[in-house]
Homo-oligomer: A and B are copies of this chain.
Amino acid sequence: MSIKIDFNNMMSENIPQGITDAELTKTAAIANKAKAAVDSSRGLNMLGWTELPYNQTAVVKDINEYVKQIEDFCEYFVVLGIGGSALGAVALYNALKHTYYNELPKAKRKHPRFYCIDDADPERLNALFDIIEPQKTVFNVITKSGATSETMSQYLIVSDYLEQKLGANASKHIVATTSENSGNLIKIAKEKGYKTFFIPSSVGGRFSVLSPVGLLPAAAIGIDIAALLNGAKDMDRICQNSDFKNNPALICATLMYLAYQNGANISVMMPYSYGLKTVSDWYCQLWGESLGKAVNRLGEKINVGQTPVKALGVTDQHSQIQLYVEGPSDKVVTFIRVEKFRSEVTIPNGCEAYPDVNFLCGHSLGELTNVEQAATEYALKKAGKMNYTITLNTIDEYNLGSLLYFFQMQTAYIGEFFNINAYNQPGVEEGKNAAYALLGRHGYENKASEISQSGKDIKYIIEI
């Protein structure tokens, strides 16, 4: 493995508002307690994700065999899922495949085109139907409960569409990833004869990227899923280091916890690689939904949670860096830097007459990107803004598996610091119930009447 974490710019030696070495040392006890709590829960309750790098030999084999089976007809692989059932697969796709993968000719692409529909926008689903050919498409319906409104709506539309187009053949164009023994989708799958993959009951959506939720779509487009799991496994071993300054996820959880206590209510994830852009989306769910909690385990009202923000280097230097440098000291910027790009371009000569362009010539784009990362890191430091940098030597399956697992472990640890349940999401219930009521679902009449009594004052509405 080659992963490097530099947190000099979190520390008071470099950042006036930063963390002192004494604070860090003082926090070691809490950090060790957090690690012990995670260690003792491995594989239990909702910590099934810690075992995924170890217990999936048969799953990987099953996935790879299934992918081989559909290879002869599948030209379009479509994920129907939302949140944790979508973001992992999308992150893997963007990080590990060609930027314009879907537009490559078959000979270069080798595997099916990839799509993920993670909302209920009718324009988007209709647009998908415009470009796919049903007889060459596999829809991967992903929902653990089989009761996710958006995904089950998509499922109903898609199964009807396939049955109209393909009749009795429809069932081989749907593969379900769901709970093995509860919920609707497993029952429907059995009735209809769909191929199924299972989400362990101890693995929640935002920790499921290394389960069949992320692995099946990844394998379908030619990603080496065994290598992904190997990277995760090695990171897991490294995170078992009980010296907290040499346990990357534990030290980073500690830094973020201390920064949050010092007023950093925003976590910016800023990779300097276009391929890692949607890793930030995946991180935003992991961090936001795990840590955004009203109460701690003692039932005390704490309304805690750092808001994750995605940014992209160098792009957002021309959008967000002005704010990050000059605005309030309310954020930590996490840079991700890639030492070696998978392909390069050198900037040729051609601007000799223009000194403020000519100095670029002879450098490569990868060099420019990394220099800009270092320069932005330096500018933030000079402005007294906290940041730290994770460096990968390159982007591949192994390193990506490591990186994703690292963030999961960091999240688990920091949840312990706050003494919260990082694995539930009780705050989404109110909105779900309100939606059921507004759709006229039986049993939600009281909620419907509660909503209808919540009037709006027309003086606070402008209509033009």
Contact = CB atoms under 8 A, between A and B. Distances in A.
B123 A360 contact: no
B122 A366 contact: yes
Given A184-B357, A382-B430, A461-B6, A304 B327 contact: yes
A431 B104 contact: no
**A266, A359, A378: which has the most chain B beta carbons within 10 Å?**
A378
A189 B338 CA distance: 35
A206 B437 CA distance: 41
A460 B7 contact: yes
Contacts of A131: 100, 103-104
A316 to B, nearest CB: 8
Nearest to A159: B350
Interface in A132-180: 146-150, 152-153, 156-157, 159-160
A108 B325 CA distance: 46
A426 interface: yes
Contacts of A281: 319
A328 B123 contact: no
Contacts of A72: none
A356 to B, nearest CB: 5
Nearest to A263: B265
A318 B83 contact: yes
Given A131-B100, A184-B357, A361-B156, A322 B461 contact: no
Nearest to A247: B462
A344 interface: yes
A46 interface: no
Contact of A121 (B319, B341, B442): B341
Interface string A55-97: 0000000000000000000000000001110110000000000
A456 B359 CA distance: 27
Given A285-B319, A321-B431, A120 B156 contact: no
A304 B319 contact: no
Interface stretch (A222-230, A286-294, A408-416): A286-294
Contact of A375 (B148, B312, B438): B438
Given A315-B119, A442-B355, A365 B127 contact: no
Interface residues of A, number: 158
A201 interface: no
B322 A288 contact: yes
A273 B368 CA distance: 35
Contacts of A460: 6-8, 10-11
A371 B435 contact: yes
Interface string A248-265: 100100000000000001
A432 B378 CA distance: 10
Identical copies in the complex: 2
A378 B436 CA distance: 13
A457 B15 CA distance: 13
Contact of A354 (B1, B123, B184, B330): B184
A16 interface: no
A314 B100 contact: no
A457 B6 CA distance: 9
A104 B109 CA distance: 18
B274 A439 contact: no
Interface string A428-461: 1011111111111110000000010010110111
A450 to B, nearest CB: 9
A166 to B, nearest CB: 15
A8 B365 CA distance: 49
Contacts of A100: 127-128, 130-131
Nearest to A97: B127
21 contacts: A2-B463, A3-B463, A10-B460, A100-B127, A118-B315, A120-B372, A121-B272, A122-B369, A156-B350, A157-B347, A184-B357, A238-B464, A281-B319, A288-B327, A292-B327, A294-B326, A303-B327, A307-B307, A375-B434, A375-B437, A375-B438
Given A149-B360, A321-B427, 8 more contacts: A99-B123, A118-B315, A147-B357, A284-B320, A292-B325, A323-B427, A325-B427, A371-B435
Report the 9 A-B pairs with minimum CB-CB distance, sorted nearest first.
A83-B318, A292-B323, A305-B327, A375-B434, A99-B127, A379-B431, A325-B427, A285-B319, A292-B327
